[in-house]
Structure 1
């Protein structure tokens, strides 16, 4: 497959089209699946990121933006579908909860109305806990029980790359499997993005505001991303040895493509990063999305 075909399937720009695709995937999981609770949360998250949800400001982080959240939501649905094909057992409520947790997983970057200093990037180090607090605060108004909120928090906690997931107390094996899937979806959605390398420049500025040490410039972040690829590959392997198979099963069932398109896209980005880092000014090779112009003018 060429790049155009890969990204035509892999990435969906319009949020409403993402919702439509996830609805189709859920109908493939089961014709009896009640999608309404997921759609309700999806619309809440749209309002939240767009600044029309009561009590909150619009999203102002350009790396951890609405597009990233909808990408994770879609990747999560695809993995769950692959799991169901592979005879993994999930209740309808847990499938729903896994998708809702994906939608809520980065709400910790959103500032409340009274919080007018800086951007949500200042919460980089605490955003996972803040996202867990968000689902606790707003879960019941979206039909979640107390137990489901606790389960959703456990899933969201898995997205912290520095947390030892083996040390998390999961209410059930289902929740553990879904939490690990969400952690993987978070990685894959970022690193398969066609403008991932460009968006890393935004991530540098989020890290700078969030006081994340270790990066003195955008180029240094690009250089250290090589090591991050190794870290994520090891992390994904430790979380789930079945990721590749589950995604192949999904893409074969949905699109008649017997490949893991996330892995293909990720490897293309990795190869291009290696290529541009051989040049003294790698930034001049990052031309997609208008990111370089947005940052440097």
Structure 2
């Protein structure tokens, strides 16, 4: 790899197969012989769930919280774990399984059951973490993950709840607390480093509208509040509530790709800087702002669904 590499030059999170192969490479680097059978089956079943092939559930229909988002969070989580191992930490196979499974299941609560045919899964935004935990409990009700490990996965998923302080979550030891921090950190950095993050915020706005979340009357308001979210919520939570483990990305990229940089931090900074530029030049004009968010055809899809 070259020093000009960007985050999405390495692994495409929209390709679940590529993500799974990268996870295997990273884990087996320090844990040769690690048994992936439990995670492999769960990964395949979550894919089926999002696709609409899992009994009792509809296909995922949220445009922001989709399978790509889930894959990006799992990938970010294993990169953080790899970065910690590159700096000399060691984790038990049990902890590694929990560190992989929690981000995998963290957003499945946004998927509707077969008899839930009104609207989309976005209406479950408030409380979707508890729905995710319940799905996971039901999924592992007959094994092979022991109930106590399911409880630990649930605690890790709780670390993605912005209204809850990770410090208040009762982990039994530092190894499991680290996996909770990994899950919460990965959820934040993976989405904010997305190369289409700014465009995808329009899809997040549609989810918030269906969920009737207050404080986001227009898409422009969400774009404007993203600046404050990054500075006063995300950065503070990463540094304080989640133990400031995000910098472990750098040793991961150094050892895995010979790139001595934190590509997540760089991508997030680029996204926020461009957002500042857009909002500064457009001065409160939504159409002007949309005209500067051209990637992925997302604006076109957004405009088909809203009345401006």
SS in 1 for 2:10: helix
Aligned to 1:44: 45
Q: Figure out how many residues of one structure are paired with residues of the other and give that number.
A: 296
Which whole-Å CA distance do the structure 2 matches of 1:178 and 1:6 have between them? Answer: 23
> 1:82–1:248: 8 Å Cα contact kept in structure 2?
yes
Aligned to 1:232: 234
Q: TM-score, normalised by structure 1?
A: 0.96
Among candidates 252, 255, 277, match of residue 254 of structure 2: 252
Structure 1 alignment gaps of length 5 or more: none
Matched, 1:273 2:275: yes
Shift of 1:72: 0.2
Shift of 1:4: 6.2
Which whole-Å CA distance do the structure 1 matches of 2:198 and 2:78 have between them? Answer: 25
The two structures, once aligned, show a CA RMSD in angstroms of 1.4
> 1:26–1:33: 8 Å Cα contact kept in structure 2?
yes
Shift of 1:180: 0.9
> 1:106–1:131: 8 Å Cα contact kept in structure 2?
yes
> 1:37–1:142: 8 Å Cα contact kept in structure 2?
no
Which whole-Å CA distance do the structure 1 matches of 2:187 and 2:205 have between them? Answer: 18
Structure 2 alignment gaps of length 5 or more: none
Deviations 1:93-127 (A, max 9, x none): 11011101111000110111011111110111110
SS in 2 for 1:100: helix
Deviations 1:147-200 (A, max 9, x none): 000000000011001101111111222111100111000001100000000000
Which whole-Å CA distance do the structure 1 matches of 2:67 and 2:136 have between them? Answer: 17
Aligned to 1:242: 245
Deviations 1:193-223 (A, max 9, x none): 0000000000011011111110111111000
Aligned to 1:285: 292
